[in-house]
Chains A and B, each alone.
Chain A
Amino acid sequence: GAGVSQSPSNKVTEKGKDVELRCDPISGHTALYWYRQSLGQGLEFLIYFQGNSAPDKSGLPSDRFSAERTGGSVSTLTIQRTQQEDSAVYLCASSLVASLSSYEQYFGPGTRLTVT
């Protein structure tokens, strides 16, 4: 019974470089969510997937951010040309389906991204 896993756990990158963050949801969970947690800013919704589709991309902060999910399982969040303000903990969560009134979200441990 593995939980949600994320890799890497920590990533330090230079400003301007691209980074990829990976999320492996709980097996059988069709919904997958990405959040960003910045110091003092709480959790900010970025994007979610139901299956391989992303019905709501409204939370992505800029066009430098993109995400994909293939095979209804693993998801990758990509940040291009990283900026220092991208430094944060990126959290992934999954649920059985995208219905938070009925199904609990399970969170991964996060990826701490530091842009120098």
Chain B
Amino acid sequence: AQKVTQAQTEISVVEKEDVTLDCVYETRDTTYYLFWYKQPPSGELVFLIRRNSFDEQNEISGRYSWNFQKSTSSFNFTITASQVVDSAVYFCALTENRDDKIIFGKGTRLHILP
């Protein structure tokens, strides 16, 4: 069975600090996709990234970066130089080879303090 674990329920950091959100997944498939979504206070989830299981290269997008390590089944998300607008709930998610269904972790609530 597939499973996504976000062990950090809530994190608070001071603005401009770097913060890493952890995500560990379980799957039996060799082909799968990993995602991160952001849910700001408005409630609408916003897609951040999709990564397939064959691409272990780290990705950087502005202040956001993602570290995918198959050896530890982790797909961690780092925000550098955090800003108050980064405050949100962040969800890690997984689909398997059957890609019409996505399983979400329970989310990490991130507070960026001014």
Q: Which residues of A come within 8 Å of B, CB atoms?
A: 3, 31, 35, 40-45, 48, 50, 55-56, 89, 91, 93, 98-102, 104-110
Given A104-B47, A104-B50, A105-B47, also A43-B42 (CB < 8 A): no
Give the distance to chain B from A38, nearest Cβ to Cβ, in Å.
Answer: 10
Identify which of residues 67-114 in chain B touch chain A, using a CB-to-CB cut-off of 8 Å: 91, 95, 99-107
Do residues B99 and A101 form an inter-chain contact, with CB atoms below 8 A?
A: yes
| Cα(A112)–Cα(B91), bound, Å | 19
Q: Which residues of B come within 8 Å of A, CB atoms?
A: 33, 35, 42-47, 50, 52, 91, 95, 99-107
Given A42-B107, A43-B91, also A100-B45 (CB < 8 A): no
Do residues A41 and B106 form an inter-chain contact, with CB atoms below 8 A?
A: yes
- Which residue of B42, B99, B103 contacts A109 across the interface (Cβ within 8 Å)? B42
Give the distance to chain B from A37, nearest Cβ to Cβ, in Å.
Answer: 9
Q: Could you list some 21 contacts between A and B, CB below 8 A?
A: A42-B105, A42-B106, A43-B104, A45-B102, A45-B104, A50-B100, A56-B100, A93-B45, A98-B100, A99-B99, A99-B100, A100-B50, A100-B100, A100-B101, A101-B33, A104-B47, A105-B45, A109-B42, A109-B43, A110-B43, A110-B44
| Cα(A3)–Cα(B104), bound, Å | 22
- Which residue of A42, A89, A108 contacts B91 across the interface (Cβ within 8 Å)? A42
In the complex, what residue of chain B is closest to A104 when comparing beta carbons?
B47
